[in-house]
Structure 1
Amino acid sequence: MKSKSQLGRFLRTRRAQLQPSDVGLPEFDERRRVPGLRRDELARLAGVSESYYTRLEQGLSRGASTEVLDALARALRLDETEHRHLHDLADVGRRGGNDRTRKPPAPEGITETTRQLIDAFGDTPVIVLGRRSDVLAWNRTGHALFAGHLDPKSPQDPAQRPNTARLVFRDAHTRELYEDWPKKARDAVGRLRLAVGRYPDDPLLAALIGELVMHSPEFTDLWSAHRVRAWDTAAYRMRHPLVGPMDVTQQAMPVPNEQGQRLVAVTAMAGSASQTALTLLAQITTPDGHTRPATDNPSTLSECL
């Protein structure tokens, strides 16, 4: 994945999604040859020459300054996450480095400190994700909530680690888990887009994207839109096969001193049926990640809800 080509594609898709009226330009009854803004219109808004912007979009200029990128971000009406992504995509060109001299990112894993952090969350469902959205670790309720059908020990083996983006697009259980699956799919793709900007030399990331493009037309359509999504807070309605529907908040936070790793904790509103469902899920999940027989459960689902 070449950053300069990714930069050009990002600029083109963003330009195509803006109409002259969106940025205060007059519209005439002329037939426009391209959707959205023309190159000359965007260049004028950003205060750069059309020829320079054209070279940038075509990947022929590798020295875009911070000031130029900021001006383009303003002209394109980028939000904060998109603005940072633009800088990430242009960063390789500004460094002027040779693609062949940059080392791929190091293998990922969790430290004992991170394991202690996971344990501190108790029964709150928690997973730790790496830069490619691989599951590096989870607690028993995190496993039960997101992927109880998978081996609870799978994150310990790099070759077998679940990947949340792959699960969203290629796993029937995960597709059924989210009531608004298209929203979850957009979020998953947007976060992979961020990863491409930050880790353009990661061959496993490139392989993952190639796999998803090959096997999922839905992924391909979303990928071509070049949308990005921040790792922050997201609300979803989940339909769990054991405890039923629940409205939850998934909060992502960076793992200290671990580049690209994020801990995702799942909570529900205090006193709600959704919180009761999460509590029940913790009660019926054994330490080895399996479900207790119904006769061993402290209460039935109907009694808890």
Structure 2
Amino acid sequence: MALHNPELRNFLLSRRARLGPGDVGLPTSGSRRVDGLRREEVAALADVSVDHYIRLERGRASQVSDTVLDAVARALRLTPAEHRHLYRLARPDALTPRDPAETPVRSGVRQALQAMTAPAYLVGARGLIREWNRPASEVFVDFARIPPERRHVGWIVFTDPRARELYADWETKAHETTAYLRTEVAQYPHDAELAAHVAELARASADFRALWSRHAVLGISHGTTAIRHPSAGVLELSFETMRLTDDPREVVVVYSAAAGSPSAAALARIAAREPPDSAPGAPGRNGLPAREPREGGERSS
């Protein structure tokens, strides 16, 4: 029996509603009872039967071919990122992913992060920040001071008041974070923990609720951001993502600055600083306790 996917339905509805007849070369005269295009119009533009399109929009995509998906993407004028998102929704991973807390971060991955002089951290399923290096703690926030159950990108961006001061363009960061979670939900619809995380964010943040309702989709593997640092001023940074593990949901995000720029000089000064006292409870930078040593050489989040 075909699975009903409300995310697929809502995404198609949102994309159909944003297009008017004039956007796709159809007559604009006459009264219309719906916002955007009608289902029949999308089906005609995609050259598929109305029943076929209705089945897809009801979230039943198991019997819809890739050819039909591509035709619907063209009819709805989807961007490349939205086209990929449509495929994720129509062809989701049926397996429930492992909880990242059950799999310790490999010592080699941790060592690679600590060897980097650039700020870097490992992000796992549901946006959980699993590991980080000292420059990342100094440039962003002291992740060790955040309870593990709250050490998620979404929770930090939308509920930690420091985030609005940290990110010079908080609105863009919030938009990117929401789009990332949308991609996660599309690819892993059976992840109950992810669904609970999104629901909790929606209850905690009106900003997240508003952005989530837009069904924004972005392909975010690199980009730029501006960080307000308490001593170095505004840092203009670029970021790239890379994979160091075999988990498809884990990426390392590495930040850098243009060679010769004031931001690059500031990052170099941050990397050259002596680390704070590592004794448990000893005051670290900004007067906060330093990170406690890990037990057994491995850490799970």
The TM-score with structure 1 as length reference comes to: 0.83
Within 1, Cα distance between the matches of 2:125 and 2:44? Answer: 37
**Is 2:114–2:134's contact at 8 Å kept on the other side of the alignment?**
no
State the match for 1:224 in structure 2: 213
Specify which of 104, 107, 117 is matched with residue 96 of structure 2: 104
Pair 74,285 (structure 1): closer, same or farther in 2 beyond 3 Å: farther
Deviation, 1:222, is: 0.7
Deviations 1:122-169 (A, max 9, x none): x10001101211101000111222212x426x6xx8x44611111110
Pair 84,254 (structure 1): closer, same or farther in 2 beyond 3 Å: farther
SS in structure 1 of the partner of residue 91 of structure 2: helix
Question: For residues 121-160 of structure 1, what are the structure 2 equivalents within 5 Å?
Answer: 121=116, 123-148=117-142, 150-151=143-144, 159-160=148-149
**Is 1:268–1:274's contact at 8 Å kept on the other side of the alignment?**
yes
Within 2, Cα distance between the matches of 1:206 and 1:292? Answer: 35
Specify which of 279, 283, 290 is matched with residue 284 of structure 2: 290
Q: How big is the alpha-carbon RMSD for the aligned residues of Structure 1 and Structure 2?
A: 2.3
Report how many aligned residue pairs link the two structures.
277
State the match for 2:293 in structure 1: none
Within 1, Cα distance between the matches of 2:212 and 2:270? Answer: 34
Pair 188,285 (structure 1): closer, same or farther in 2 beyond 3 Å: farther
Within 2, Cα distance between the matches of 1:41 and 1:12? Answer: 13
Deviation, 1:212, is: 0.9
Deviation, 1:69, is: 0.8
Q: Is 1:168 equivalent to 2:162 in the alignment?
A: no
Q: Which one is further off, 162-171 or 275-284?
A: 275-284
AA aligned to 1:78 is L
Within 2, Cα distance between the matches of 1:60 and 1:37? Answer: 20
Question: For residues 228-267 of structure 1, what are the structure 2 equivalents within 5 Å?
Answer: 228-267=217-256
Within 1, Cα distance between the matches of 2:64 and 2:274? Answer: 53
State the match for 1:46 in structure 2: 46
Deviations 1:199-225 (A, max 9, x none): 111121111100111111110111011
State the match for 1:296 in structure 2: none
Unpaired segments ≥5 residues, structure 1: 96-101, 294-305
Within 2, Cα distance between the matches of 1:60 and 1:85? Answer: 16
**Is 1:118–1:138's contact at 8 Å kept on the other side of the alignment?**
yes
Seq. identity, % = 38
Specify which of 178, 199, 208 is matched with residue 197 of structure 2: 208
Within 1, Cα distance between the matches of 2:20 and 2:83? Answer: 19
Pair 254,25 (structure 1): closer, same or farther in 2 beyond 3 Å: farther
Within 2, Cα distance between the matches of 1:16 and 1:217? Answer: 23
State the match for 1:297 in structure 2: none
The TM-score with structure 2 as length reference comes to: 0.84
